[in-house]
Structure 1
């Protein structure tokens, strides 16, 4: 029985960074979940095209091994695909038996495509029901802060997911921005001046628009 419900219409949405993440309630491998249950902490919601596929399996093995790294950043993981709950459960067992890895995060069933269409994981023009390899970084207030999307044939990078999450958190905590290729511990950049007085007060410096500083240390 499909118990999935969402507070959006049945057509595919065009979500943007800064939009509230559409709420939903659905069955998962760890019981019924409401997206709103994750308010107060970071959440990465990610879709995979299908269970028992090689690329998806490689991702789930590495994500499961990295679960403590996400937990250290106070971030929950929540997977979703159009496969049924029973398919998810069979796949989890196969991963455990074949790789010695226990999937430690819930996997949502979405056979009716309600969630996939609400998030734009599957287009109205898609030739089949497989979701794209989409990743949504949702902040503690339930706002989508970043999105990454790959085709079904290319696996996402777990290290990149962790990097983006850490960057979002330091941007919020320290009111800075991060440069190209930034990783935790690297120098960060100060936001540009937004008013004339502050700009003109800067001493003669050809790089007045590019101000870096060491990343603040915790503790």
Structure 2
């Protein structure tokens, strides 16, 4: 069972999200209302996924993300925030968040996003993925795909990597390639291991830096 921590300083919202996730088979092992509490409870519970608000009394979600990952590096952070401001989204991702969902998302979208995040996917509210990928493209410094790490990937892994850089989901990539989304995820996980990266966002950045987008 996927374990969850919900970080939000609004008790009604925090408790409501926790109930919704529990009803859908997740185990909410902790809640927190501040950066400090998030760090302490992540250290104690090591949740699989943290739902993180961006605005907290003693800091922001990006600071809390850094603190949580220091105590529990394998935890995946999905930001769930009312803000869709460019600065908030990019700050969260650069801090280590795996995805970013706005609070206007439906219950079904939230459940799907948490499930996908636990599986290692990068999930963003429509429109925000392009913003993040655009920023990584702007930051890219290597114009060609001749980097020393590229030979480590198979032709199919490289093909999947190109689609990841375009922001496609595993199901969308599978449809393009005529394979199952599980096969795509296997290629993604293999690429992550070979390149010593931790999530799809870093993988997309790698692809752009090496001219694979």
TM-score w.r.t. length of structure 1: 0.31
Q: Report which of the two has the higher share of helix.
A: 2
| Greater Cα radius of gyration, structure 1 or 2 | 1
Q: Which has the higher contact order (CA 8 A, sep 6+)?
A: 1
TM-score w.r.t. length of structure 2: 0.31
Q: Report which of the two has the higher share of strand.
A: 1
